[in-house]
Chains A and B, each alone.
Chain A
Amino acid sequence: AQSVAQPEDQVNVAEGNPLTVKCTYSVSGNPYLFWYVQYPNRGLQFLLKYITGDNLVKGSYGFEAEFNKSQTSFHLKKPSALVSDSALYFCAVRANNNDMRFGAGTRLTVKP
């Protein structure tokens, strides 16, 4: 069965600095990888996904993620963080059986 690990419960960065939220995965077969963001009292919103092709995928709000097959990682990145990026971020992997598994989430705090 597929699984996802987000090794950091919390990431703190200063506004304007680059940010990275880490994710590693385990799956049999081809990985279909996703990042979602959750703002307070809201549902999860899709940010970006990797299906195939270019290892660097770009998504909403200036976020991007780098797929690394050898390290089984899919880290979320942004060159310059905004205070409004503060939220809970979830990495997820979906396998051929359609089952989507989520990590425990990483709380990103961007300080002015």
Chain B
Amino acid sequence: EAQVTQNPRYLITVTGKKLTVTCSQNMNHEYMSWYRQDPGLGLRQIYYSMNVEVTDKGDVPEGYKVSRKEKRNFPLILESPSPNQTSLYFCASSLGGPGYGYTFGSGTRLTVV
């Protein structure tokens, strides 16, 4: 089944403790992206990648890192999480080109206390 897999689905952590949210897609998509969803703000892009070893900042990159060493994986790293990073996170992928829609993962609900 074609899908984007995120792990974990739920995570509660403490301020300052490094964490990684994994994202993997099995559709050979070039384009991958991370979003955070907050009430009233919709989805805001954190980082995106147009292909292996090519990443760029979205609208809200502060406090996050990403890497794209393989085409299928696009992990999101929070080096020192803070409470304002409590949010619902989505990974998405697509073929290259603006006419293609995204396939989304199921989401990761992160709480930083």
Residue numbers of A with Cβ under 8 A of B are 6, 9, 30, 32, 34, 36, 41-46, 49, 51, 90, 94-105
Q: What is the number of contacts between chain A and chain B, taking CB atoms within 8 Å? A: 59
Determine which of A43, A98, A99, A104 lies in contact with B40 in the assembled complex, contact meaning CB atoms within 8 Å. A104
CA distance A102 to B97 in the complex (A): 17
A102's nearest neighbour on chain B, judged by CB, is B43
**Chain B, interface residues (CB within 8 Å), range:** 20 to 34
| Most chain B CB atoms below 10 A, which of A32, A43, A101 | A43
Contact assessment for A99 and B50 in the assembled complex, using a CB-CB cutoff below 8 Å: no
Smallest distance from the beta carbon of B31 to chain A beta carbons, Å?
Answer: 6
Contact assessment for A43 and B99 in the assembled complex, using a CB-CB cutoff below 8 Å: no
Q: Which residues of A contact B99 (CB under 8 A)?
A: 32, 49, 51, 94
In order of increasing CB-CB distance, the 5 nearest A-B pairs are A43-B104, A104-B42, A102-B43, A32-B98, A94-B98
Smallest distance from the beta carbon of A93 to chain B beta carbons, Å?
Answer: 9
B48 at the interface (CB under 8 A from A): yes
B106 at the interface (CB under 8 A from A): yes
Determine which of B31, B106, B107 lies in contact with A98 in the assembled complex, contact meaning CB atoms within 8 Å. B31
Also in contact, A90 and B98, with CB within 8 A (given A43-B104, A43-B105, A44-B104): no
Contact assessment for B107 and A103 in the assembled complex, using a CB-CB cutoff below 8 Å: no
CA distance A36 to B42 in the complex (A): 12
Q: Which residues of A contact B42 (CB under 8 A)?
A: 6, 90, 102-105
Determine which of B41, B48, B90, B96 lies in contact with A99 in the assembled complex, contact meaning CB atoms within 8 Å. B48
| Most chain A CB atoms below 10 A, which of B4, B33, B43, B48 | B43
